[in-house]
Amino acid sequence: MKKIDLKFTNRLINHGPLVVVSARYKARETFTPIAWNMPVEHDPPLVAVCISKENFVNSLIKRSKKFCINILESPYVREILKLGELSGRDGDKLKHVRLTKRKCLKIDVPYLAESSAVIECRLVRDVSLGDVDIFIGRALYSQANEKFKTDLWDPIQLKTIHHLGKNVFATIIKLESFDTH
Ligand SMILES: Cc1cc2nc3c(=O)[nH]c(=O)nc-3n(C[C@H](O)[C@H](O)[C@H](O)COP(=O)(O)O)c2cc1C
């Protein structure tokens, strides 16, 4: 993977992919599928994830004030669904899936080596709303594979996973180009 200019971090998730959020506090860590995520600001580069207070990842983010967004493509949808059936509270999820972890560069959190892009974040705001928290993170380091061309994903090659609801998932197709000014 190659380093991405932080000002283009928002483009990694602009199209609404299902992501896996990883977090770690002391020796405890987890990898949690999160459909509800979005870019927030270009500069500073801010992103947000909406996470149930019941999920283990929520407590890890609150304690460590760090999290990592992993963007994986369609070959990994079954592995991601498995991550969503388990809780890191009960042990190491990666024993149950064909996914491997690596150390992030800027934060003490693991990322998934199978990711097509990764965003390492420092928590800047926690908005508590009933049963969920919206965690807003500032991107400290972003990387992506060759399908990300400087400032944009290649829409022909990219096969990110998009959660429509229930157990229904889709990927993307490119529409005709539109001229912008
Ligand atoms: C496709 C999919 C999308 C999900 N999206 C979210 C989400 O946006 N927010 C959330 O809190 N949980 C979401 N979940 C549920 C968590 O991934 C799930 O409860 C997970 O087991 C929690 O793991 P943890 O306890 O280790 O954090 C989603 C699950 C799946 C399968």
pLDDT, one tens digit per residue, over 22-66 is 999 999 999 999 999 999 999 999 999 999 999 999 999 999 999
Q: Is 20 in the pocket of ligand 1 (CB under 6 A)?
A: no
pLDDT of residue 177: 76
Residue pLDDT, tens place only, 121-171: 999 999 999 999 999 999 999 999 999 999 999 999 999 999 999 999 999
Per-residue confidence at 114, pLDDT binned at 50, 70, 90?
Answer: very high
36 lines ligand 1 (CB under 6 A): yes
At residue 176 the predicted structure's pLDDT band, cuts being 50, 70 and 90, is confident
Q: Are the beta carbons of 20 and 81 closer than 8 angstroms? A: no
**Does residue 12 surpass a pLDDT of 80?**
yes
* 60-111 pLDDT tens trace: 999 999 999 999 999 999 999 999 999 999 999 999 999 999 999 999 999 9
* 84 close to ligand 1 (CB < 6 Angstrom): yes
Q: Is 87 in the pocket of ligand 1 (CB under 6 A)?
A: yes
Spacing, Cα 134 to ligand 1 middle (Å): 14
pLDDT of residue 33: 99
Q: Which long-range contacts (CB under 8 A, 24 or more apart) does 23-28 make?
A: 23/57, 23/60, 23/61, 23/64, 23/66, 23/67, 23/68, 23/109, 24/60, 24/64, 24/66, 24/108, 24/109, 24/110, 25/59, 25/60, 25/63, 25/64, 28/56, 28/60, 28/88
172 CA distance to ligand 1 middle (Å): 22
pLDDT score of 171: 98
Ligand 1 centroid–CA 81 distance in Å is 9
- Residue to mutate (ligand 1; options 18, 55, 80, 131; most atoms within 8 A of CB): 55
pLDDT surpasses 70 at 180: no
Q: Which residues contact 178 (CB under 8 A, 6 or more apart)?
A: none
Q: Ligand 1 within 6 A of 60 CB?
A: no
How far apart are alpha carbons 69 and 48 in whole angstroms?
10
Q: Give the pLDDT score at 181.
A: 59
Q: Is 75 helix (H, G, I), strand (E, B) or coil?
A: helix
Which domains are seen in the chain, by residue range?
Answer: 2-170 (2.30.110.10)
